Amino acid sequence: MSDPTKPNDNSPQNRHESQVSGEGGRNGITRRGFLKGAGLTAAGTALLEPVRAFSNEAAASTNPAVTELGPGPVPIRLHINGKEHAVDIEPRTTLADALRIHLGMTGTKIICDRGACSGCTVWLDKVPVNSCMMLAIDAIGHDVTTIEGVAAEGEPHPLQAAFVKHDATQCGFCTPGMVMSCAALLEKNPHP
């Protein structure tokens, strides 16, 4: 029988002391201690990542080659349908919104606002693009052609006339996008 006045060798306090001092057959770190240390290291690294990203962002802002725009409206010039247009827009404004809201060119329709329907199609340097998926500031320095500019000298484009003649307009809401896409195809391949 054990003596109650004598401390028990298996008590939690004695086990802890033996683990810390390396006694009892254990040398070095315990599995639990290792996992705690690894967890703290991973958490510390994750917490420092935003700080590192912020310092990289701050370094980029001091670069003279970087132009920062916004968050408020900024003046830009767009070349649309052969004419220069000056407009003050927020950098987050899509080309479709700039055309419709800021410049009053309502031929370009915003239908899905996700680039799936192509109702907002315009040409950017003769290449069809979904204007709802493109920022207006990305169109700076490019030639933009809308449905209003595809007609020559006030006469409808032959494709527009064919749409009307063959009643291909349906309800007419997405027709400008279809005309722009088809006209781009015919520009590239006149006999598809």
For the chain, 192 residues long, the average pLDDT of each consecutive 10-residue run is 56 53 62 86 77 64 72 95 96 96 94 91 96 96 95 86 86 88 92 86
d(CA 78, CA 70): 17
Per DSSP bridges, beta strands 143-145 and 74-80 are parallel
Position 62 scores a pLDDT of: 65
User: Which DSSP letter does residue 88 get?
Assistant: E
Position 15 scores a pLDDT of: 54
Residues β-bridged to residue 83: 80
**The pTM is what?**
0.65
Which amino acid is residue 139, in one-letter code? A
Phi, psi (rounded to 5 degrees) for 57: -65, -40
d(CA 89, CA 135): 10
> Per the omega criterion (within 30 degrees of 0), is the bond before 71 cis?
yes
Position 127 scores a pLDDT of: 95
Position 133 scores a pLDDT of: 95
Residues β-bridged to residue 124: 127, 144
> Long-range pairs for 34-37 at CB < 8 Å and ≥24 separation?
none
